Copies of this chain bind each other. A is one copy, B any other.
């Protein structure tokens, strides 16, 4: 039984993490840290926990948290997160950070896309990018995991085999991503008001969204070549779920079967990846509620172009579920512990 603490417990990512941890047989929740709701019962803030948990949100210093926890999940805004993680790591505690602060190899990329100075660039060497389908071995021994973003996870998983096997033109990649509103978190904003979101769809952050750089970094590493790509996020009138529709020109005239086998090989023994058979494409209702990523594709013979569609639950495989998957690997639990449930569909 390990002791886990959560910072930023009462955001949407934090609360989903807590919900999932409740079903984990090897984890005891040590501290739920919340500055906003310090002293309040979790079930007051999220009444789905009424009669389930009597736990109280607290506010504690990082040093104390670090001392009393085997693992700390940090779900705070970038910048704030870096400062907190620094203190937690001084306390020798293993950390899974859900912000963008430790996801970059090159501090310059971070500073350019986040438009701020990184306070602890040295820590980028220590951190491991927590996408278990790519970095499982490094995650095992890691002390600091940079848990990937939701758009990023969905995009990278969908494209990794193609760039890795070099069967697409890396300059032709376009990612058109659609996300539920929970991805924007629980902070109030007119843009997230029900009347502004329902019966609407909009693109945002076009050509400038930070996740672009994270996707480019990882695909470049897989490809061995610098990749730049278009990434366009859209806000949907749904709570959960991300669907990425991705386009790239094929460099060879390969068959659907060939590509299907390539994906299947690439993700062999990856318990959360499902490659869809020909004619089936992912939908968010297939994955919402689960830690799975569904990937499907169609080959456009006319244009010699591939269209890949991938889907995840942004709050699970795109945040809390993936964080637990990383924790499972770090502590030698079965990778799927507490994460085996199928999606809800309804």
A274-300 CB contacts (< 8 Å) to partner B = 274, 276, 280-290, 292, 294, 298-300
Interchain CB contact under 8 A, B206 and A298: yes
Q: Mark A208-241, 1 if CB is under 8 A from B, else 0.
A: 0000000000000000000011101010111111
Report if A142 contacts B (CB, 8 A): no
Return the contact of A315 from the options B46, B193, B282, B346 (Cβ within 8 A). B346
Return the contact of A238 from the options B186, B188, B201, B341 (Cβ within 8 A). B201
User: Residue on B with the closest CB to A12?
Assistant: B346
A4-57 CB contacts (< 8 Å) to partner B = 12, 15-16, 19, 22-23, 46-53
Report if A189 contacts B (CB, 8 A): yes
Interchain CB contact under 8 A, A200 and B346: no
Interchain CB contact under 8 A, B194 and A186: no
Interchain CB contact under 8 A, A182 and B346: yes
Return the contact of A240 from the options B206, B239, B280, B346 (Cβ within 8 A). B346
Q: Cβ of A300: which chain B residues have Cβ within 8 Å of it?
A: 207, 230
Q: Mark A148-192, 1 if CB is under 8 A from B, else 0.
A: 000000000000000000000000101010101110001011101
Report if A243 contacts B (CB, 8 A): yes
Q: Cβ of A204: which chain B residues have Cβ within 8 Å of it?
A: 281
Assess A245 versus B232: contact at CB under 8 Å? Given A48-B345, A302-B207: yes
User: Residue on B with the closest CB to A45?
Assistant: B345
Return the contact of A49 from the options B196, B198, B342 (Cβ within 8 A). B342
Report if A74 contacts B (CB, 8 A): no
Stretch from A75-83, A91-99, A303-311, A322-330 that touches the partner: A303-311
Return the contact of A186 from the options B52, B174, B195 (Cβ within 8 A). B195
Distance to closest chain B CB from A243 (angstroms): 5
Tell which of A195, A284, A302 has the most Cβ of chain B within 10 Å. Answer: A195
Distance to closest chain B CB from A193 (angstroms): 5
Interchain CB contact under 8 A, B193 and A193: yes
Interchain CB contact under 8 A, A280 and B47: yes
Tell which of A52, A198, A232 has the most Cβ of chain B within 10 Å. Answer: A198
A sample of 12 cross-chain residue pairs with beta-carbon separation below 8 angstroms, ordered by A number, consists of A16-B346, A19-B344, A22-B342, A23-B340, A47-B283, A181-B195, A194-B197, A202-B243, A202-B283, A203-B281, A206-B281, A234-B243
